[in-house]
Structure 1
């Protein structure tokens, strides 16, 4: 009875806590002041969790997990988002449709602005319109970029990959790190979060102009466009890129919002968390994460989708039948390739990030030939992958759609798309990095093993299982895990 009462009390606490994610708690328009109020409460909550349940098991790992990229291992605290296999990503317990409904927008019934999502990720609270607007103004105030950053970019060839330019610029900004300066002087570890917060907002504020400069330098003859102080974060970014269509501004708001965070296990997020755990400042941490994002198995995936779609157009045109698409897909699979944009390491249903982009396309570009092809693929690909019998998730992910939308509005340089992704993802990973330092999380150091150790361990387990079946004691063990009864295995 006592145990049941405790469980009910704990459940009530969790329910009360979760309610915090779906209401406004403060009228304070200064994000840092609100964060300073929240940190002691959350620190106490984490300490209570560790005290009560620190030794509780989260499940067993397997040799497959160790060899297969640690996939599925529960081993990281990540507060800002959680990925559900069926529902998709939830930002602070809100689904993408709920974010579209509840977060502030720039226009009536428009897409949420990423400033609002950033407030949500940092505090766990839905911001008011005034709070999101205050954050927009704060980003503008922090957006000035030191001249040496442009010197670094200009020293690179214009043909350098846009992601190479982006990470170089972020590294050049590291000279401005408030955390590095404070740590050098000697900083109470209980206040580590403060300069990390300052660095995080400064970097987020500067990225749109840096990213736009890279785009104009690489593809538009080097003629940059000045910021428009009347615009919100996304619209101003689009403007500096050279796109002033209000619908493209809406697309950029949607794009930057849905790409911010995808829990902590993906390469870019995990890398920022890992490098940051060594107390590297946010600039060093994010630069490392962007290098991970630049990989073809992560942030470059949307380019792979677009190239594949272009291959379809080159071979059979845009006016294709479902039968022609089936033949092309089977041809792709039989050549040993995968269908890009389909499947996900965690998701087992259609990615809600794909769905919201599809809804945007249905609203704004329903007759676009490339969108219509994407729609036909949505009908054709999943049944084929299910028939193949080797795919756990035959449904499309976010990368299956984003490139087509960008192409429609004229941003056709596919090599640049990952930079857009990087600007967005920085908001998510830095939201968590602030909390990493607020929680005082330690340096990350998982245990690694050699193949020989795994072989010996597995042989020992098999031998002990046979011994148990035979009623024998587990003796005669060697220090390296060998047992002397390895012939049983």
Structure 2
């Protein structure tokens, strides 16, 4: 092992000796790193009818003017969907899946039929669990979900068919089947890697996606209506975030090449797995533990403010200088998803004994922007959705292993909608340019190299 490590160190030294790109070179040449403009806004790379993410306006001189955040699915504001779900006590994720895929709100008969189709497709293909899941467990559920999606290719009679009808059928199968794959993959992880008992519950007919997840996840299959509603809300707010978010853009890039649905969705899962994207809620929960250990009085704003200041100065937390759960590429004054989750999670936090942790996160949301402004200048930041989603999953008794996979389950309708739009209407391979900085060198023979 020591010899292998030494060999890798040699290879890494050789790489670093011959490869370096100064970030200042990008600015000098006008290269937009991360496909970001100098003011931090995204480069306009495409057109979509699916989702709009609003966090700022542009002034007369092109300056960014912060505004309250809005998330709009197919023209319908997120807050309208939340209001409908709670005023009429309905599970809404399936309706939003329809909205994202088809572009309009379903009639009652259409929604009932769609809900029935989704529930029927919670079951996986015959022998899939034995052949794909049981034979190759993984310690990481996102990794296993990506591999499972690729494996679904072999169970599809028309995996390469890019017709609208087939793309739609594949989308429905993924929206309905991925929750079952996620829970079963987690049970295997418990047995093989955690040395705990595993259990497999068959899907219960007629359940919503949120109810299906809780029913198959919990050993006793019991859950309250309020718990299922809160999980349904999490699925709703994560369902899509525009074509420019990293995982949706990944899906669109692969789709533009003409590849199959399973390759495109597996790639999107791989993108979401990254801690800079879907894995951020885990970092928030880790940070919460640092706060609980470093702050004596959770209600003392001055004490919390100073701890956040130490985090930014890399004197506390994980040393990154980041306050996880704060800041977003688009939202400036507020992230509507974070606002909704905070409002709806408070009651359950009090009931389940998580009130102190909830209040502490609320203080982070309140004080974080102040500390950022004092330490970093006048940059406007706000709490993002990750600040509260991790605590909600914890309150629901869900393992941290599933925090990011649940994000993926939520995002499948959006990914599929973007894939269909890219395949049917864009029809041109995405191919941005990179400027070459290498130095011309003449080939030398082995003898000449010495």
TM-score interval, normalised by the smaller of the two chains? 0.7 to 0.9
Higher helix share: 1
Deviations 1:34-59 (A, max 9, x none): xxxxxxxxxxxxxxxxxxxxxxxxxx
**CA 1:409/1:320 → structure 2, altered by over 3 Å: closer, same or farther?**
same
Q: Secondary structure at the match of 2:159?
A: helix
Paired residues for 1:306-455 under 5 Å = 306-316=285-295, 319-335=298-314, 336-366=320-350, 368-390=355-377, 392-411=379-398, 413-439=399-425, 441-451=427-437
Q: Secondary structure at the match of 2:52?
A: strand
Indicate yes or no: 2:42 matched with 1:96.
no
Deviations 1:122-142 (A, max 9, x none): 222122333222111111233
**CA 1:318/1:256 → structure 2, altered by over 3 Å: closer, same or farther?**
farther
**CA 1:406/1:399 → structure 2, altered by over 3 Å: closer, same or farther?**
same
The farther-off stretch of 193-202 and 61-70 is: 61-70
Q: Is the 8 A contact 2:338 2:383 kept in 1?
A: yes
Using the size of structure 1 for normalisation, the TM-score is 0.73
- Post-superposition offset of 1:391: 6.4
Q: Is the 8 A contact 1:149 1:169 kept in 2?
A: no
Deviations 1:234-286 (A, max 9, x none): 21122111152222100111011110110011111011111111121211110
Deviations 1:143-184 (A, max 9, x none): 3313235433223345x211111111111111134553546x
- Post-superposition offset of 1:365: 2.7
- Post-superposition offset of 1:93: 1.8
**CA 1:318/1:296 → structure 2, altered by over 3 Å: closer, same or farther?**
farther
Q: Is the 8 A contact 1:111 1:254 kept in 2?
A: no
Structure 1 partner of 2:151: 172
Larger radius of gyration: 1
Q: Is the 8 A contact 1:177 1:283 kept in 2?
A: no
The farther-off stretch of 207-216 and 217-226 is: 217-226
Question: Number of residue pairs matched?
Answer: 380
- Post-superposition offset of 1:319: 3.7
Q: Secondary structure at the match of 2:35?
A: coil
Q: Is the 8 A contact 1:99 1:112 kept in 2?
A: no
Gaps of 5+ in 1: 1-60, 184-191, 454-489
Q: Is the 8 A contact 2:309 2:375 kept in 1?
A: no
**CA 1:177/1:375 → structure 2, altered by over 3 Å: closer, same or farther?**
same
- Post-superposition offset of 1:397: 0.3
**CA 1:154/1:226 → structure 2, altered by over 3 Å: closer, same or farther?**
same
- Post-superposition offset of 1:407: 1.0
Indicate yes or no: 2:185 matched with 1:214.
yes
Q: Is the 8 A contact 1:179 1:281 kept in 2?
A: no
Q: Is the 8 A contact 1:374 1:401 kept in 2?
A: yes
Gaps of 5+ in 2: 1-25, 37-41, 56-66, 191-195, 315-319, 440-450
- Post-superposition offset of 1:405: 1.2
Q: Secondary structure at the match of 2:381?
A: coil
Q: Which of 174, 183, 206 is residue 230 of structure 1 equivalent to?
A: 206
The farther-off stretch of 140-149 and 442-451 is: 140-149
Deviations 1:65-116 (A, max 9, x none): 73421122111122210111133321112221112234xx4x7633652110
1:169 & 1:132 partners in 2: Cα distance? 28
Q: Is the 8 A contact 2:116 2:206 kept in 1?
A: no
2:278 & 2:424 partners in 1: Cα distance? 29
- Post-superposition offset of 1:305: 0.4
Q: Is the 8 A contact 2:285 2:390 kept in 1?
A: yes
Structure 1 partner of 2:43: 73
Q: Secondary structure at the match of 1:271?
A: helix
Q: Secondary structure at the match of 1:283?
A: helix
The farther-off stretch of 86-95 and 385-394 is: 385-394
2:186 & 2:377 partners in 1: Cα distance? 40
**CA 1:391/1:288 → structure 2, altered by over 3 Å: closer, same or farther?**
farther
Structure 1 partner of 2:18: none
Q: Secondary structure at the match of 1:376?
A: helix
Q: Which of 83, 87, 92 is residue 53 of structure 2 equivalent to?
A: 83
Q: Which of 216, 219, 232 is residue 240 of structure 1 equivalent to?
A: 216
Q: Secondary structure at the match of 1:90?
A: strand
Alignment root-mean-square deviation, CA: 2.3
Q: Secondary structure at the match of 1:174?
A: helix
Q: Secondary structure at the match of 2:306?
A: helix
